[in-house]
Chain A
Amino acid sequence: MKDYDVIIIGGGVAGGLPAAAYLQKAGARVLIVDALQELGHHVKTNEVWPGVLWTPCAAGSFIGNSPAMADLDLENYGVNLKLSPRGTGITFPNHKSLFIAPYDIDGTCADIARFSEKDAERARGILERYVEKIIDFNDLCFYSIPTPEKQEKMIEMAAYVWGVDVESFREMNAFELVETVFESDEVQQTFMCVAGVQTLGDIGEPCQGAFAAVAWIMVIPGQLVGGNHNLAHAYIRIFLEHGGTIFRNCPVEDIIVENGVAKGIKIHDDAVVNGGETIMAKNAVITNAGVPESFRMIGEENLTKADPALAQRMKYWDMASRASFVSLWVLKEFPKWKSMQWNPNISKMDFFYKGWESIEHGKRWHMAQKSGDTYGALGGICEAVMHQVTDETAASEEGYVSLRVEEVLPFYWRERGGGSGKADIEMWDEKRDEILEKQTDMFADLIENFRDLILEKYSITPLDLWRGDRAGVAGNGVGGSYTGNQWMLERMPYRMPIQNLYCCNGVWPIQLSWGAGGYNVACAVAEDMGIRDQSWWKAKPVEWTLQNLGRLLVEKNPYWVE
């Protein structure tokens, strides 16, 4: 048996894989252990219909934000990033649309002016400050371990970008922020759409809601040519090339803690390899397994001894208020969006949203979501992805394309009326087709002859997502819900109160394909091991993408309508 300096439990692209690649390249001897065979579970690409690719979970690739693009030379390992020149935005139920492209401030403001001249002026200021601050913002807020001092600075910077004074900013939720700044309902929705799916902050909470709206425009949505799983491939390649070891199909039973120090792991008896064995790590055990599973592996007793408050928070960590439901359709031809008449740029959108009926609907949706009313929350904001728009290789030779939609819902089925009523988790197995039909109706409302285009369709429920990846309890793919007490400093610590134990799931900022958690935990471990000082480990986030922007922005694509 080899000796390891670092053991990483869970090889996802948000946490484990980037951490592994950085640390192994920095000279640590790293072992990745995963219960699954295929690493990068949430960025897996597949083709249910031959030739038509999709990445059902992390359908938007945010790796353009990561310093790893430069530090690890990801492009040379197969990460071929493409960006839509129109950024991201919404197609509304009223068949209008609006997109925000920080790469084209004039064009964006002209589009906004069709809704409101005044909003266009406001937006120009925001986008200009965005360009000024995007690297610093990412550096301070995402690719760095949060501290109370940093939190203050983050809020100041966010308020600055939005042109709002800090004191008011602290009092505002996302709705209030956009309503203060903009007058048009559509513009308001568009500027909070990505935050609308309840990540980086609860949109209904003061301060974190406003912060989430700002933070999300700092994330650059893109696509990897040939599917987003190529990101996992790249990390694995770098990792193996530098001598790393991977155990697949290998669930971890326990993290071994002795006298307040994490020593290693015990592998589950049924594992395909090394079943029942104990494996030691000299310097670090990093868990990327999600909070509930990490809690189980570390053990309540060990945690309570180390930090009773953290033990309690982990025990009651909320995963369930933010569950993802994914629907997938293979279409015979590129859909004609009804909003095309309003603005043909919808045809250039790879990563976008179907809006609420109105911002008021958004508020109602948020109430239903918070109170756990799954029925009431159905039909809210949806995240839509059409890979083919920026990656034509994702279409089949016949020109078939795919549409993937994610809706965020509370996990426990309850009677209407909120918190009361019996929870019924297996309802997901019963309701799957019904929800898929509802969503099909929703998109039939947005696309001409949608039903006639469908060759194949299926859906993946939150329960399926949980079953598929034990880190994604309750179908929560972001490391835990963003609620009042699961935000920023109150997310999981990177350095756990147990010596040599680290965590990169459930941490600030969020589990995304951008690998911020993995980057940050790698920094922490490398510092503690004294190997942080590497000539190649120096890039700032987003820098690489800005330097290469010209060739990353797609210039033409057969599906675009001018």
Chain B
Amino acid sequence: MSLKSIIKKEVKELLTPEAIVPVMVIAIVFAAMGNFMGGIEDELEEKPLIALINLDAGEHGRLVSTILEENADIIYNGTDVDEAIKIVKEEGGSAILEVPGDFSTNIENNVTGTINIVWIMKGVGVMDSIPSAKIDNLIQSINLGISAELIQRENDLDPVHVLYPTGREETILFKDREIEGVSPGTLSGMLSAQSVMVPIVTMILIMMAGGIIISSMGMEKEDKTLETLLTLPVKRESIVTGKVVGAAVIGLIMAGIYMLGFGYYMRSFRVGEVNLAERGLALGMLDYALVGLSLFGALLAGLALSLVLGTYAEDYKSAQSYLFPVTALALIPMFVFMFMDLGSMPVALRGAMLAIPFSHPIIAMRSLMFDDYLLVIGGIIYTFVFSGVMIFFAVRIFNSDRLITGRMTKKDGLLEKLTK
């Protein structure tokens, strides 16, 4: 009864137009960004780094070499596939192109000449598929070049074959996984949309909801409504829970508004999802539920932490400065995971990232694509334990003098110690 009315009051008190308008503006900005991202791929001029294994001594094979030598940086030119992969990985190249020995013969005999491509993907960031787009263009050029040659000379080949004399078979190497028959554009489109979305949503959600709860504490102290609340026949636990749940409700509403913006943003990435599902990379319902749970755990952890911090706030204004630690903790994992994966981090950084509860939805998203359930479930448990500990502290603070006396006692104590 009173818990319900506390939650209701929290929502009413805090879900104001001032709170919602900025959220909507940012959501719209993201929607616009989605359009912008679509166009970025065409822009780059730099030559892609590739390895070439040309086993075909024929006329068409030579043309392939010529076109590639002109338009790409060939960092390995030989016959050893493993060596080529090693070098491309080391040099940060994008792909290994292999022209089989029967390439020319096949084309001359009405059989599609296959180019085998091994894509080395280093990450799933937004920019990671750009080199592959350029290589795609080169392969188009190769196809055109061979086609032109065939047309120029007299032949009795199938006209369709003359127009499309080449084909490709591709494999992606990513995170020790071989993914066959998918182009990097498709993969990174899907993965980057997801791996960009989850960290940003996490960050926004934590910052929003944390801000709400800290402001609420500041306002309650400023107006002394908290003092009144604490003399009512209601359990401290109910007050704490009411605050956390109230802020969670608002946070979820706000996140919902963001997701609408994001839905639009993500449409620009959603190509070939079916393909990914076939490769076992797309997330299933259970996976999404786990990500959701992880996000919820992180939200709860953020709220509980914010509540503890909010108890230090004296008024609405000072409350804002106590939001800073929460903001920092939400931003750091977002940026770190943009550049690195858990596996490639130094141990200390990995420990720090695992300790920050807001990392776990990000980790969950990535781990689930590669079926690392242990890390995900462990992370979820951790966020809930973290929340529990924070709520325990919050209740203890709510039962102590400090909530009423504020920092004053401590400050005085410290001042006295310093001046003595």
Do A and B interact with each other, yes or no?
no
Which residues of B are interface residues toward A (Cβ below 8 A)? none
